[in-house]
Amino acid sequence: MTKLFNQLIILTAVIFLAACNTASTDKKTADTMDTKVNFDLAAAKSAIESENVKFMDAFKKGDSAAIASMYTNDALMLPPNSEPVKGAGIAEGWGAFTRMGIKDFKLITEDVSGNESQLAETGRYELYGDGNKLIDKGKYVVVWQPANGGWKLHRDIWNSSMPAASAK
């Protein structure tokens, strides 16, 4: 009888310890879920819109280095009618765009979705030349990733909504 009693005590202790360990694991899972639930998408969208203002200002100043610094180290820029651009090519690409005679550049964010590790922004752009003449307008998608306490462009693709030039 004593042997059975000792085995029951040991079994009870094992069950108790297992239950304590499960509660600890459940708390860790709940804490992780709270972090994801507590992600403030509205604040992230506001941060993206603020980055877009910096982007437009740098573009208007012709500062392609400032624009390139807004991209992650392994970013890809995917301009229309061109191959993907990465690394130093991003600054060179934006340098070429800033010298095209564009006087005003507008980004209009339509949607931002995602989480603390990656955001997707969709929107529209407008490019204006001399006399506030519309040169181009279109749509874009940017994938943003967190870096250095803020958000950086990781993938950047856009294309025109203007009719294609007719072939002659």
Over the stretch 81-90, which tens digit does the pLDDT of each residue have? 999 999 999 9
Model confidence band, residue 140 (pLDDT cutoffs 50, 70, 90)? very high
For the cut 50, the answer to whether the pLDDT of residue 62 exceeds it is: yes
What top-level class would CATH report for the domain 41-160? Answer: alpha beta
Q: Look at residue 128 and give its three-state secondary structure.
A: strand
Q: Which two tokens stand for residue 34?
A: 């709270």
Going 128 to 48 to 119 to 99, the CA torsion angle's sign is: positive
Give the per-residue pLDDT at 166.
74
For the cut 90, the answer to whether the pLDDT of residue 66 exceeds it is: yes
Q: CB–CB of 137/158 below 8 Å?
A: no
In angstroms, rounded to a whole number, what is the distance separating the alpha carbons of residues 156 and 92? 15
Cα 138 to Cα 80, 90, 141: the distances in Å are 11, 20, 11
At 1, the amino acid letter reads M
